[in-house]
Amino acid sequence: MATRSGEPATLPTPVSSRVDAREESHGAALSPTRIRLALLALALGGFAIGSTEFVAMGLLPNIASDLLPKLYAVSPADANAQAGWMISAYALGVVVGAPTIAAAAARWPRKRLLLWLLVTFTVGTLAAVVAPTFGLVLVARFVAALPHGAYFGIASLVAASLMGPGKRGRGVAFVLSGLTIANVVGVPAITWIGQQAGWRVAYLAVAVIFALTFAAVLFAVPWQAGNPEATMRRELKAFGRPQVWFTLGIGAIGFGGLFALYTYIAPIVTDVAGLPEWAVPLILVCCGLGMTVGNLVGGAMADRSVKRTMLTFFVVLMVALVGVGLLAQNWVVLAAGVFLVGASSSAISPAIQTRLMDVARDSQSIAAALNHSALNIGNSLGAYLGGVAIAAGLGYRAPVWVGLVLSALGLILAVGSFAYDRSRAKRGLPVAGHTGAVTTVQP
């Protein structure tokens, strides 16, 4: 059963308290203070996830020298490229975990599911702290990533419910704001800690943030029932819709542009721009500020036009990558370019999330999570192909050009997706409208 807006109907489960019953329905039944606290708790989870996902990028040389000392002694570039597998391992964990958990646990009460996901994050991150070898660290990072997409997916649904009708893009953006703020504050700070005390201490700090998030969600987020009519079969129907695959492709390939650059930002800063190691966190702050601004702008624009948001910011992303590729030796251009790369990519993310929720129709739980599978395929792809380019002897600028190609392919897929909508509309066939309802649009 679906509402007119395309969201799955949320049926209350039997509860003894009137307060719990009201909390299950929608955010309007809660006080503004309670809603703000709940949204902040959900965003804190995004902050923790942003920290665990991106901190490796600023500490890549430190990780490589510690876990791969023999290779690092012979070739730091090859060791950095191999250490980049940590990013790929995490990204692949997201890809596997997001649809699996979202489809299997769609009936679970949302708050209960969020709490279990946060427990997995904490345990998996601690496992990476104590793992003695590079191979075991890869396994720990894979396990820690499994809840990533499901957390953002379920948290986005909860936030959208709390925000109310017509504000889905802003609800998604609020949850993602924790991730973007992590790139302003958390990632640079934890990177600095890792540079001073070792990368394992950095990940220990991340585990503490996850534990704090567990407490915040436990006490601040209202109870919400899952969808009792949801089944894995119904959720998996999303994969039978061509526009779902189009949208996943946009994220999976297009977002490689961000991650090809971001994964190797530390050697780009030190080897290409010639800046000292302490400048790496400062450049990461530039990217984080861009992500924060882009996320807020993209969330508001996505509520008006998903198409315009997506196409505009893919063009901005490509222009920014060209600037970094040509002029990275100039630290001012590098900082500005990294800011624009972060801003444009983060502006696209809420649009992809909203688009997926539109085209997946009644498979809302898996749609909300699939966005992060797609983005982390882009993470893995960008990190891997950038590493291949470096290992081939093309230098540390090469990942930027790899990212440009991936972003261009993402733009082409976006144009193709909207052209497919126009083609169906001309034939009088239904397409997913902006609100998520299945409608027939004018070409």
Using alpha carbons only, what angle is made at residue 37 by residues 33 and 39, rounded to the nearest 5 degrees? 115
Give dist(CA 420, CA 301) in Å, integer: 22
CATH number of the domain at 18-433, please?
1.20.1250.20
**147 in helix, strand or coil?**
coil
Query: Rounded mean pLDDT of 251-278?
Result: 87
pLDDT value for 405: 94
- Rounded to whole angstroms, the Cα distance separating 117 from 374 reads 19
* pLDDT beyond 70 at 93: yes
Confidence band for 21, pLDDT divided at 50, 70 and 90: very low
pLDDT at 394 over 70: yes
User: Are the C-beta atoms of 389 and 364 separated by less than 8 Å?
Assistant: no
pLDDT at 8: 38
pLDDT of residue 209: 95
The tokens for 37 are 């606290």
Residue type, 238: A
Instruction: Report yes or no on whether pTM surpasses 0.85.
Output: no
Residues 6+ apart with CB under 8 A from 116: none
Share of the chain above pLDDT 90, in %: 26
Could you tell me the two tokens for 50?
């942003």
Place of tokens 């920014």: 320
Other Cβ atoms closer than 10 A to 36: 13
Q: Which two tokens stand for residue 194?
A: 């890792």
- State residue 428 phi and psi, 5-degree precision: 75, 20
CB–CB of 8/238 below 8 Å? no
Residue 28 reports pLDDT greater than 60: no
pLDDT at 431: 64
What was the pLDDT predicted at 144?
Answer: 93
Compute the average pLDDT of residues 145-152.
Answer: 88
Write down the pLDDT at residue 7: 38
pLDDT value at 296 more than 50: yes
Residue 423 pLDDT:
82
Mean pLDDT value across residues 208-231: 84
pLDDT, residue 78, reads: 84
Identify the residue with better confidence: 442 or 289.
289
User: Does residue 79 register a pLDDT over 50?
Assistant: yes
Q: Could you tell me if 194 and 59 are in contact, meaning their C-beta atoms sit under 8 angstroms apart?
A: yes
Give, as one character, the DSSP assignment of residue 165: T
Q: What is the pLDDT of residue 430?
A: 61
* For residues 15-43, average pLDDT: 63
Alpha-helix residue ranges (DSSP H) falling in 17-147:
18-25, 32-58, 60-67, 69-74, 76-83, 85-104, 110-130, 134-145
- Chain segment 160-174, per-residue pLDDT in tens: 788 776 666 677 777
Across-strand partners of 87?
none
Residue 139 has pLDDT above 90, yes or no: yes
Give me the pLDDT at residue 226, please: 66
pLDDT at position 3 over 70: no
pLDDT number for residue 138: 93
Q: What percent of the chain has pLDDT over 70?
A: 85
Are the C-beta atoms of residues 378 and 256 closer than 8 Å to each other? yes
pLDDT tens-digit readout, 316-370:
999 999 999 998 889 899 999 999 999 999 899 888 888 887 787 766 667 767 7
How many whole angstroms separate alpha carbon 353 and alpha carbon 8? Answer: 16
Across residues 280-299, what is the average pLDDT?
86
Quote the pLDDT of residue 6: 38
pLDDT confidence of 206, banded at 50, 70, 90?
Answer: very high
- DSSP letter (8 states) at residue 392: T
> What does the mean pLDDT of the chain come to?
81
